[in-house]
Homo-oligomer: A and B are copies of this chain.
Amino acid sequence: MGFTSCFKDMFPGWVATTPVQRSILLPMQVTLAHVGARAGKKDEFDALTAVYLERCSAFARCNAEAFRTEQALLDWLGKQRGRTPAAVLLLDSRGKQLSSEGFAGWLGTRRDQGAQHIVFAIGPADGWSDGARKQADLLLSLGPLTLARALARLVMAEQLYRAFTILTGHPYHTGH
């Protein structure tokens, strides 16, 4: 049993509030990245995505990143991989379709294999290049429907929260 779960058993109601507490108790970091930043414009999609990322922050350190180009994202990814063991999931219409339970299983396996940083990325409007696809640990398709990219990002954020609740036995998933 690791330090985190041991600590949580000892102080079940305690919640990490400072960055130092969080970095010790939530060893995994999750980044929701996308290509195609609209120069800082925020809309209702961003607001809802932020709500799910905030909820996810009970389970992992979470942040969002926006990149103007695919290359900028790949450069950033290279630096991240140099720092910590990372896993990369790219949303791709040609990718694998998973159920929410299947996706949670993938996330749990990566976590248990020691991935300290998991990056979920939504590509440019015309899709990922072959070079980007080769860097992915998983190409995930959200299903047969084509979704607006801001909506796909929101669905991804909700699935991430759902996956954490599945892995921890929180009633969010089964309550639906």
Does A162 belong to the interface (CB within 8 Å)?
yes
Does A47 belong to the interface (CB within 8 Å)?
yes
Binary per-residue interface labels of chain A (134-153) against chain B in the complex, 1 for a CB within 8 Å, 0 otherwise: 00000000111111110100
Closest to A145 in B: B100
Between A and B, 10 residue pairs with Cβ closer than 8 Å are A44-B44, A44-B47, A97-B143, A99-B145, A100-B144, A100-B145, A100-B146, A142-B143, A145-B155, A154-B154
* Nearest Cβ on chain B to A23's Cβ, whole angstroms: 29
Does A158 belong to the interface (CB within 8 Å)?
yes
For the complex, what is the distance from the CA of A51 to the CA of B99, rounded to whole Å? 28
For the complex, what is the distance from the CA of A102 to the CA of B143, rounded to whole Å? 13
Interface size on A, residues (CB 8 A): 29
Does A83 belong to the interface (CB within 8 Å)?
no
Question: Which chain B residues border A158 with CB–CB below 8 Å?
Answer: 147-148, 151
Closest to A175 in B: B125
Does A28 belong to the interface (CB within 8 Å)?
no
For the complex, what is the distance from the CA of A125 to the CA of B171, rounded to whole Å? 13
Question: Which chain B residues border A173 with CB–CB below 8 Å?
Answer: 146
Besides A97-B143, A100-B146, A154-B154, 4 new A-B residue pairs in contact (Cβ under 8 A), listed by A number:
A99-B145, A143-B145, A145-B159, A151-B158
Within 8 Å by CB of A103, from B47, B99, B145, B149, lies B145
Does A45 belong to the interface (CB within 8 Å)?
yes
Does A77 belong to the interface (CB within 8 Å)?
no
Q: A97–B154 contact, CB under 8 A?
A: no
Within 8 Å by CB of A144, from B45, B51, B97, lies B97
